[in-house]
């Protein structure tokens, strides 16, 4: 889910952060918006899913 990717983007492991960020950006508008908010807010406050019922999932 986008929420899990946001968590992974704040990992201590650089490779995990890189892959999670790239995956977020590949998920369209919702992923891009979540990615843009990463630098502005702690992960608890990053808004995920701009449209009701929208959720994207991915597997590593």
Q: What is the pLDDT of residues 4-38, one digit of tens each?
A: 999 999 899 999 999 999 999 999 999 999 998 88
Sign of the CA dihedral with 2 first, then 16, 21, and 10 last:
positive
pLDDT computed for residue 31 by the predictor: 93
Sequence-ordered list of residues with C-beta below 8 angstroms from that of 25, at least 6 positions apart, any chain = 31, 32, 35
Tell me the C-alpha distance between 60 and 12, whole Å.
Answer: 17
Prediction pTM value: 0.64
């Amino acid at each position: 889910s986008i929420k899990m990717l946001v968590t992974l983007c704040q990992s201590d492991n650089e490779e995990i952060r890189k892959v999670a960020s790239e995956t977020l950006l590949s998920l369209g508008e919702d992923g891009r918006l979540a990615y843009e908010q990463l630098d502005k807010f702690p992960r608890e406050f990053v808004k995920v899913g701009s449209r009701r019922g929208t959720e994207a999932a991915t597997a590593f």
